[in-house]
Structure 1
Amino acid sequence: MIIFNRPDTTQVVFDAIKRAQPQQLFVIADGPRADRTGEAERCAQTRKIIEDIDWQCEVYTDFSDTNLGCKQRIASGLDWVFEQVETAIILEDDCLPNASFFEYSQQLLHEYYDDARIMGISGTKALPDAIGTENSYYFSRYAYIWGWATWRRAWKLFDKDMQAWPAMRAHNGLLPILNDIDMVKYWERMFGETYEGKIDSWAYPWLLSCWVHRGLFIIPGVNMISNVGYGEQATHTTEVDHLANIPVEEIRFPLTHPTEVLQHTELDHRLDYYQYNVKTTQQLMTEKLNGYYKEQWLQRLLLEKQGITSPLKSRNIQKVCIFGTGTIGKYLLEDMKLEQLHVVAFIDNKWSDKRKEQFEVPVYSEDWILNADLQIDAIIVSVEGDHDTQVAERLQNKFAERELTVFSWKSLFQNK
């Protein structure tokens, strides 16, 4: 467990660890910054929380008297941990786990103990929708470290000072890893600023270390970690965004393992944009295709006063939910108003509980449909990108008992 100066989030995460009752607990703590009023007291209060051990547990502490900073403290702390043990589950003071995260990590630490291709196991599912596979997890090039686990064999490859970066950049070494020039530009900037000391991060050197050794990370099919530390007291996550306070789920056991250890490139491409806001060449081409549909749609609305939803009436579809609250969702809403069809609700799993309406239509997560006491004839998936049909297929399976029709907005357009 990695702690610093936040007793509130530390208490919540420690309570989760306490319920798991590990036999060994290693605690890494940075020291207070001399120029921060009251920080020494907050650090002391935070460290005191760890004293509340009421189960059989060996506790080891590595507390720094001075402030080493994020990169140096976590790097040296994990070095200390792996001098003593072969494997570890790692939680920072703002990463709140679901109880199943511990068993999931323990099983996979054993499963891939000697597999040098795997560098770590994450408890975070960064994508907002389903991964589109029956397996419990997939393999990614991205090392998500909000609740994770790894082995001594992997951590010994950690290049804290990024000594490999100059040669890798000189020989364009990121291109065969990322296969996209826009992603190369993004990560050249991030790695470059970290190498130059402009970014105080251990996570970027760790990611680079994974890529240098062509390592993969395990990403779960459900999210088991919620970052509860966004805000002014955070070191990096000071501004709340779509990754804050994501709900956690319990992963199902027994785990279903992929048959091959291969990177899931399609899911990684989706992560490129959702996590890092970088559009890949593939996504830009998809946008052009979506743009064509939207242009044609608008021409029909403006010139013919007819969109694409009029055939729904012939299929006895009157009441619809729209999956997605973006531009396409707005077009669908306006089009159905012209056709005198009723939009029951928007479905969007990313919205927080505080945002319950879009264009004067209620917004719910998809699980709301399971028990909704309303007539719903169909769901139209309005997401842009190349995964719209996958989302439609997943929803069709999920709501099979409700006998709903689920289709993509593009298939609706093409059938017009």
Structure 2
Amino acid sequence: MNHNKQLDVPVLFLTFNRLETTIQVFEQIKKQKPTQFFLASDGPRVDKIDEANVVHSVRKYLLDSIDWRCEVHTLFRSKNLGCGKAVSSAITWFFDNVEYGIILEDDCLPSDSFFKYAKELLLYYKKEPSVMHIGGYNPLDISLNGTDSYYFTKIHQCWGWASWRRSWKNFSYDITIEEYKNFIHSRKFKQVFPHIEERRYWKRVFREMTDQKINTWDYQWTFAILKNMGFCINPCRNLISNIGFSKDALHTTDIHNKNNNALRYEIFDINHPAEIILNKEFTDRISEEHFNIPINHLFRYYVRNIFKDIILFSMKRFVKFCINKFKDLKDKPLKNL
């Protein structure tokens, strides 16, 4: 890698109150020297003692540590908006200023090749509106058979990603109950989720989202992509480690989770798939192994239903046979014994 060459793709770095992880991710960004560097930070929570000082120290560290020539843009909130609104509004601010770019949170540690990978795909699919998201995280930690460097799926991974303004314009933080109902009852919903267990899972998640029971933004982004029948890119090997698992984290609290600090790999030479088409094997395995949706158990479900239909059909035929026999006996004169 040429350390003197600067990354000419804008980077948005989302931070809050974790200096240790912020430093690790920043050091990876610093190697790339992006020409446009956007920093966003939510405001401190009023009920958290000394959090204002911690948030300030993270911001000061970043501004003091930028030692390369670049445009620096900041969105430092004075009041706390919460994870969902703070992150989504920062991404909107980012795409109000740039056409495309890379988004990293303060706990998403990228491999060296992640930036080259994201840049190449941002340019390669720049004019392909069906491709809406470029992910850097591979939750399966496997490489499926084939020579392609990445796969197309329907569910995004947002631990280190990239996208375009044209895609993010479809995002809405506040999804109404009408939008929710229209989508889950649409033909699109059954097309993207052919398995009944998947539909049940995402119906529940999207309902909790519309009821504002989940303080996040990524499910709204999932909703926008699915509603527009968009494609998401996942790398053939994992390029991002989430180093933010801790008991003090907002969402990633289970330090024993298999996704905690996953191994990172490198993809320097990009082999593009021949066509934009859903990789069913990868998509189904993400549903099963990452979201714990038992779609492959549906075989038993369908077999059980088939046998139920056979039994029901047989019983109906048997009842009909008995009725006809009874009618025949009734109509025939009794023979003398």
1:11 is paired with a residue whose SS is helix
Contact 1:27 1:62 in 2 (8 A): yes
- Cα 1:66–1:157 change in 2 (3 A) is same
Helix, strand or coil for the counterpart of 1:174?
Answer: helix
CA distance in 1, matches of 2:188, 2:111: 37
| 1:159-205 Cα deviation digits (max 9, x unpaired) | 22124323113447522211011111111111110110100110000
What does 1:3-18 correspond to in 2, within 5 Å?
Answer: 3-18=15-30
Paired residue type of 1:69: G
> Which of 38, 57, 64 is the aligned partner of 1:45?
57
Match of 1:244 in 2: 260
Contact 1:6 1:93 in 2 (8 A): yes
Match of 1:285 in 2: 299
1:263 and 1:49 mapped to 2: Cα distance? Answer: 42
CA distance in 2, matches of 1:115, 1:69: 33
For the Cα contact (< 8 Å) 1:6–1:233, is it kept in 2?
Answer: no
Normalising by structure 1, what TM-score? 0.67
Alignment of structure 1 residues 90-169 onto 2, 5 Å: 90-163=103-176, 164-169=179-184
Do the aligned partners of residues 287 and 221 (structure 1) sit closer, same or farther apart at CA in structure 2, a change above 3 Å counting? farther
The alpha carbon displacement at 1:79 in A equals 1.0
Matching residue of 1:65 = 78
Distance in 1 (alpha carbons) for counterparts of 2:23 and 2:302 = 49
**Following TM superposition, by how much is the alpha carbon of 1:74 offset from its aligned partner in structure 2, in angstroms?**
1.1
Say which of 28, 31, 41 aligns to 2:40: 28
Counterpart in 2 of 1:358? none
1:39-69 alpha-carbon deviations (Å, 9 max, x no partner):
1111111111211111111110001100001
Match of 1:221 in 2: 236
What letter is aligned with 1:21?
K
CA displacement at 1:288 relative to structure 2: 11
1:131 deviation in Å?
1.7
Change in Cα spacing, 1:286 to 1:228, as seen in structure 2 (3 Å) is: farther
Seen in structure 2, the aligned counterparts of structure 1 residues 237 and 112 have a Cα distance that, compared at 3 Å, is same
Q: Distance in 1 between matches of 2:167 and 2:68?
A: 30
Once the 2 structures are TM-superposed, how far is the Cα of residue 124 of structure 1 from its aligned partner? 0.6
1:194-232 per-residue CA deviation (whole Å, 9 max, x = no partner) reads 110100110000000000000011100111100000012
Q: CA deviation at 1:75?
A: 1.2
Structure 1, residues 111-163: CA drift from partner, whole Å, max 9, x if none?
00010110010111111322222100010101111000000000111122124
**Greater gyration radius:** 2
- SS of 1:226's equivalent in the other structure is strand
**Partners of 1:90 and 1:219 in 2: how far apart?**
15
Whole-Å separation in 2 of the counterparts to 1:133 and 1:162: 38
How far, CA to CA, are the matches of 1:232 and 1:37 in structure 2?
18
The equivalences for 1:227-306 within 5 A come to 227-240=242-255, 241-253=257-269, 255-280=270-295, 282-285=296-299
Rounded to whole Å, the distance in 1 between the matches of 2:145 and 2:230 is: 23
Is 1:89 the counterpart of 2:105? The answer is no
User: TM-score when scaled to structure 2?
Assistant: 0.82
Distance in 1 separating the partners of 2:152 and 2:226: 13
Shift of 1:36: 0.9
Q: Is the 8 A contact 1:119 1:216 kept in 2?
A: yes
Which residue identity lines up with residue 218 of structure 1 in the other structure?
I
Counterpart amino acid of 2:78?
D
Structure possessing the higher relative contact order (Cα contacts under 8 Å, 6 or more residues apart): 2
Name the amino acid aligned to 1:144.
Answer: Q
1: CA distance, partners of 2:49 / 2:262: 32
Aligned partners of 2:245 and 2:300: how far apart in 1? 33
Stretches of structure 2 lacking an aligned partner (at least 5 in a row): 1-12, 304-337
Amino acid across the alignment from 1:77? A
Contact 2:153 2:234 (8 Å CA) reproduced: yes
Contact 2:117 2:268 (C-alpha < 8 Å) held by counterparts: no
Identity of aligned residues (%): 37
Q: Distance in 2 between matches of 1:99 and 1:171?
A: 42
RMSD of Structure 2 on Structure 1 (CA) = 1.7
User: Match for residue 322 of structure 2?
Assistant: none
Number of positions where the alignment pairs a residue of Structure 1 with one of Structure 2: 287
2:286 & 2:120 partners in 1: Cα distance? 25
